[in-house]
Amino acid sequence: MSEIYDVVIIGEGPAGLAAGIYAARARLNTLIIEKEKAGGQIVTTDEVANYPGSVENASGPSLIDRMVKQANEFGAEVKLDTIKEVELEGKTKVLKGEKGEYQAKTVIVATGANPRPIGCPGEKELRGRGVSYCGTCDAAFFEDMEVYVVGGGDTAVEEGIYLTKFARKVTIIHRRDELRAAKSIQEKAFANDKIEFMWDSVVKEIKGDGIVESMIVKNKKTGEETEIFADEEDGTFGIFVFIGYVPTTELFEGKLDLERGYIVTDENMKTNIPGVFAAGDCRAKSLRQVVTATADGAIAAVQAEKYINETLND
């Protein structure tokens, strides 16, 4: 049978990496399983200005690189695999992936969340062809063109500001008549000559033959629908969607207690199953930021060690 790890962490974003750092540093046999690449949502962030102690001009990728290096230095093992099935009851947890099966005394779920789509016709078909969920990834494709940002929270407005470095004009489309972003972020946006606002509006449809060519926007107060077409010389425009996230927790439905898809834990990151913890954006909580994700991961790792010492080593 395969090796039994002290801790297996699912996800290599800030929460998973923090858990890996703390667990490995405590000399626990630690495995981090990631299905794609390290970083989670933070790697799409151009600037991380609110993470305590971050260096000037720190970016999401640079922050993650340092976390990965720390986890490796402390001895955390990392494997690329997609977990398809979990058996979480009992003293030994079993995780079944596409590439192998893993056993663990404790499991920390740090699967994060994915961008929430608008859900309108044409969005799925034109994703990556004008529809984007990552300013850092795709801004350069719209150099000196027009782009639209859907959303009104911190991320939407911050990404809108970032996009002004590339686009000639950025229009923020928000379903309400005022932004939800922090006041300091709003002030920067309102002071930026490249940013305009479309209030009380939602995107109803995105059109195009292979690339975005137009979209229909509805005013929620008047009911009026307007079709916005790409500039003839440009031929297309960008639609950047930042309206929240959907937790990546389908694997745990019927196994862990969920609240609107988010994993329910106590303040010590404990789920309803002994020896199983959750950390980061997949967890039900009031604030989803890199600083709270890393805190969750640290707490989960410490509690995993405590569980092993007090429950399994009696």
Annotated active-site residue 137? The verdict is yes
Active site residue 138: yes
Q: Residues 146, 47: contact at Cβ < 8 Å?
A: no
d(CA 312, CA 96): 22
Cα angle 162, 163, 164 (rounded to 5 degrees) comes to 90
Burial 195-218 (b: 16+ CB within 10 A, else e): bebbbebbbbbbbbeeebbebbbb
For the sheet with 225-229, list strands across it. Answer: 201-207, 214-219, 225-229
Catalytic annotation, pick one of 120, 137, 200, 257: 137
Dihedral of the CA atoms 76, 79, 82, 87 (nearest 10)? -50
What does the alpha-carbon distance between residue 110 and residue 293 come to, in Å, rounded to a whole number?
Answer: 9
Nearest alpha-carbon partner for 263 in 274, 275, 276: 276
Does 144 qualify as catalytic in the annotation? Answer: no
Secondary structure (3-state) at 12: coil
Identify the active-site residue in 65, 81, 134, 200: 134
Catalytic residue among 138, 154, 281, 296: 138
| Residues marked as catalytic | 134, 137-138
